[in-house]
Amino acid sequence: MATPRLPRHATKIVATLGPATSTLEMIEQMIRNKVSVMRLNFSHGTAQDHIDRAAMVREASRRAGREIGLMADLQGPKIRVGKFAQGKVQLEPGAKFVLDGARTELGDEEAVGLDYKDLPRDVKPGDVLLLNDGLIVLTVDAVRGEAVHTTVRLGGVLSNNKGINKQGGGLTAPALTAKDMEDIKTAMSFQADYVAVSFPKNRTDMEMARQLCNVAAAEFGHKPGLIAKIERAEAIPKLEEILSASDGIMVARGDLAVEVGNAAVPALQKKMILMARNMDKVVITATQMMESMINNPVPTRAEVSDVANAVLDGTDAVMTSAETASGKYPLETVQEMSRICEAAEQAEDLKRDTDFSGQAYTRIDQSIAMGALFTAHHLGAKAIVALTESGSTALWMSRHAAHIPVYAMTSRLATQRRMALYRNVRPLLMESENDRDAALAQAEAHLKRRGIVQKGDIYAITCGEPMGAPGGTNMLKICTVG
């Protein structure tokens, strides 16, 4: 069997699975077209649906000859209106409309029930509510018991179960619901590599999620990475503490834009990407990246620029949602995204020397990782190899822009899959080896077999002695291929 090609571009692609991508053949094609992580959206489908799709991803990875990561994205609180008798209503500007937590009958043009029963306690007169991603705007006039009386400021069609946001934030819904807790158990049953937590407000939300994940995964000897989805206004001032309690963040631009305003999101995106990289965390940029490709075979120029700018900002990954879950052109979407990532990276302005100026590293393993990047850059090395058990060395290397690919070799399958999300890291599985020289020879053989290096090429390799101890990287070696 031919050796599978690894992605040429450093930025990873996260693709959401759904009805359009529910066959083994389609998932395999997406992996062959450089998708590195598959997202299972727990807002839709049953537990068995996700179990079946996870099994297909693992099988498709085996067929494609490349392991990828699985991310379980929790639904979070249902901050939504209820259902309408006719499925939808037309709200006219200036009309009165009631959001009633006590209503049991189906809604009409005058009122609708609430899935989110705490809304009357979260709002007061003068507050602005944004429904259906901000397409409908209501001003709160009064709160009477369980009913929120409003005036329609910006009208339109409101259909069943559309989302509710409060301008400026302030809804008290907990990040983790009873459904999320059950979904965590489901995700851990197939050892999802990452769990994305919706609507966290602070460190505590993420710490609770981690505890639940670790308990559910204990019987499998597994610990998933945790991704905090930044989509609440309250999360912005708490960003640093949320990051410190997470393994990464998702710039979830949909709900976030509704709460803070569209104009604020681009600058927040840059801030979040920079903060995540500075704190050695991963970051995914998401929402409407290739939205037009739900129905069209090519993206708009604005979408191309959006993806490219996220790449130039330093995001680890760009993500598709409905484009691959339910769109007409799922495979074309990831192919276009791959081309954009590759072109944007070629235009990156690297400042390797200034990147390290003023930096202080107190850990030996982190200093070795930075030394490998610096030395490989100045020697014109073809590759950097990190022999790693935990993946930490590869993560640190991935925090700095580099046009030298990092091949992270590990004997742990879970580490390989988790590293699939790290920018500029190509994770590979190698045999467990306690003899340093044998491990180094095996690593070089990997590079030769894949055509990464040939006779006379220079590459850098990091490892730890004794071999196999997580966090023990303490050696940097510069090698010339004989």
In contact, 406 and 6? CB cutoff 8 Å: no
Q: Decide if 80 is catalytic.
A: yes
In contact, 266 and 257? CB cutoff 8 Å: no
- Cα gap 112→118, rounded to integer Å: 15
- Strand order from edge to edge, sheet including 458-464: 425-429, 406-410, 383-387, 458-464, 473-480
Q: Is 177 helix (H, G, I), strand (E, B) or coil?
A: coil
Judging by beta carbons within 10 Å of its beta carbon (0-12, 13-18, 19+), is residue 367 exposed, middle or buried? middle
Q: Classify strands 96-100 and 136-144 as parallel, antiparallel or unpaired.
A: unpaired
- Cα gap 476→479, rounded to integer Å: 10
- Cα gap 330→27, rounded to integer Å: 10
- Choose, from 53, 229, 232, 426, the residue flagged as catalytic: 229
- Cα gap 472→448, rounded to integer Å: 26
Q: What H or E segment, with its residue span, contains residue 16?
A: strand 12-16
- Cα gap 245→226, rounded to integer Å: 9
- Choose, from 58, 80, 153, 179, the residue flagged as catalytic: 80
Per-residue 3-state assignment (H helix, E strand, C coil) for 437-466: HHHHHHHHHHHHHCCCCCCCCEEEEEEECC
The residues pairing with 96 across neighbouring beta strands, listed in sequence order, are: 151
User: Which residues have a Cβ under 8 Å from the Cβ of 210 and sit 6 or more positions away?
Assistant: 226, 245
Q: Is 353 helix (H, G, I), strand (E, B) or coil?
A: helix
Helices assigned H by DSSP within 91-227 = 119-122, 178-189, 203-217
- Choose, from 34, 39, 201, 382, the residue flagged as catalytic: 39
Beta strands in 145-180 (DSSP E): 147-154, 156-159, 164-166
In contact, 481 and 454? CB cutoff 8 Å: yes
- Choose, from 150, 287, 315, 333, the residue flagged as catalytic: 287
Instruction: Copy the structure tokens of residue 170.
Output: 């302030």
- Cα gap 316→314, rounded to integer Å: 6
- Cα gap 369→411, rounded to integer Å: 19
In contact, 85 and 108? CB cutoff 8 Å: yes
Catalytic residue ranges: 39, 80, 229, 287
